[in-house]
Amino acid sequence: MKHTVTVDPSGAFLTLQTPNTKFRFHAIWLRDNASDPDTRSTANGQRLITLGDIPADTRIDHAAVKADTLEVQFTPEAKTVAYDIPWLVTHAYDKPAPQQRGWTAADVTTWDARLMDDVPVADFSALRNDPAALRKWLGSVNRYGFGKVVGGPVAEGALFNIVDLFGYVRETNYGRHFEVRTEVNPTNLAYTGLGLQAHTDNPYRDPVPTVQVLYCLESSAAGGDNMVVDGFAAAQRLRDENPAYFDVLANHSAHFEYAGEQGVHLTSRRPMIELAPDGALVSVRFNNRSMAAVTDVPFDKMSTYYAAYRRLGEIIDDAAMQVSFRLDPGEAFVVDNTRVLHARKGYSGEGTRWLQGCYADKDGLRSTYDAMRNTPEAAE
């Protein structure tokens, strides 16, 4: 692969020409991202200097390509640094800005009901014993925002074994875990056939629990299937149908609140559709039960806000968006609670259903996945 480099006469940036494209890199960016042992620790990769240690008038004196390496001489430090060209290409920032708000990164695949036949699933013992199986499953959870586990033990607390695969339990006021027990008895209307609208859990926390695990221990009632909806897909559908609806939910904070037990009063102020400054989808919060009075939408936008909220709910309720699956005893699912909404469908007949749930952290899951992915054995 042939690369060439030219330095701008100002010394402020260089242009790296690759076989397919070209990227410009600023002198100050290159100097800050040097990986020499005086800049970065050889032990842990952490940066040893602050930006203040780099002269503000840093310029490129000279640059040359040597095979897969770019050598850059900086002035006034009179320092030469070697860069791995594939690393530079991977980290290039000289590219067009996203055209549309609500985009997702390449490692995210949005989905709708058509994913039904292809729900990411793995066997519990394989996940425990086979790093390749775990890596593949974590990759699916990362890509689709949820994954199912089958073949686990039917034992109280087994849900913690699922969390142990990738991270740590996040304890809350609901405890280290919570029980989800349903007695389905047609003579008691309070417990018959009630479904729950798809939602994200605990939007009143800041930050929200980013991963939820639900583990089935008993399931003798008919129905009660679990259902998930891709909140990113729902947000993008809303955007494509009506950009003003998308914008009003992304541009204004909702309020969420829970004060349902003594000594607890959780509140948050975040948008239903949260975007990064560049328009990337960050998270979706949607929960009719804990939506509080919204006070951060201007008067002249409130009717649009409610129309948008209603339409987002209709999209979420649309069967074309929903993937359903049954959880039998010893089966569990893990969901990215910043993205994927979950629900329980209604029951028919009678019986019992018992699940245990807990929260964990997505950064731990992604860390485990990325660490496994970046080992030499993981090369695919």
Using CB under 5 A, list all residues that contact Fe ion: 201
Alpha helices in 48-191 (DSSP H): 85-90, 124-129, 131-144, 158-164
For Fe ion, which is the closer residue by CB, 140 or 290? 290
For Fe ion, which is the closer residue by CB, 58 or 356? 356
Residue found under tokens 């020409």: 17
The four Cα atoms 330, 179, 166, 128 give a dihedral, to 10 degrees, of -20
For Fe ion, which is the closer residue by CB, 89 or 180? 180
The nearest distance, CB 342 to Fe ion, in angstroms, is 6
The nearest distance, CB 218 to Fe ion, in angstroms, is 18
For Fe ion, which is the closer residue by CB, 248 or 341? 341
**b/e per residue 104-122 (b: at least 16 CB within 10 A):** eeeebebbbbebeeebbeb
The nearest distance, CB 335 to Fe ion, in angstroms, is 9
Tokens of 308: 């948008």
In a 3-state reduction of DSSP, which class is residue 351? strand
User: How buried is 310 (Cβ within 10 angstroms: 0-12 exposed, 13-18 middle, 19+ buried)?
Assistant: exposed
User: What is the C-alpha end-to-end distance of the chain, expressed in Å?
Assistant: 21
230: Cβ contacts below 8 Å, ≥ 6 apart: 110, 111, 112, 144, 145, 321, 339, 340
For Fe ion, which is the closer residue by CB, 286 or 369? 286
Q: What is the spatial distance between Cα 128 and Cα 134, in angstroms, rounded to a whole number?
A: 7
The nearest distance, CB 195 to Fe ion, in angstroms, is 12
The nearest distance, CB 319 to Fe ion, in angstroms, is 19
For Fe ion, which is the closer residue by CB, 100 or 173? 173
The nearest distance, CB 197 to Fe ion, in angstroms, is 10
Query: Can you give the C-alpha Rg of the chain in angstroms?
Result: 25
The nearest distance, CB 380 to Fe ion, in angstroms, is 34
For Fe ion, which is the closer residue by CB, 201 or 247? 201
The nearest distance, CB 286 to Fe ion, in angstroms, is 11
How is residue 204 annotated by DSSP? T
**376: preceding bond cis by omega (within 30 degrees):** no
The nearest distance, CB 323 to Fe ion, in angstroms, is 16
For Fe ion, which is the closer residue by CB, 204 or 245? 204
Pairing relationship of beta strands 146-150 and 121-123 according to DSSP bridges: parallel
Q: Which residue is nearest to Fe ion (CB)?
A: 201
For Fe ion, which is the closer residue by CB, 228 or 297? 228
Q: Answer yes or no: are the C-beta atoms of 133 and 127 closer than 8 Å.
A: yes
For Fe ion, which is the closer residue by CB, 127 or 211? 211
Sequence-distant contacts of 274-278: CB under 8 A, at least 24 apart: 274/250, 275/101, 275/102, 275/250, 278/97, 278/98
Alpha-carbon separation of residue 45 from 42, 83, 90, 306 (angstroms): 6, 15, 18, 48
How is residue 321 annotated by DSSP? G
The nearest distance, CB 243 to Fe ion, in angstroms, is 30
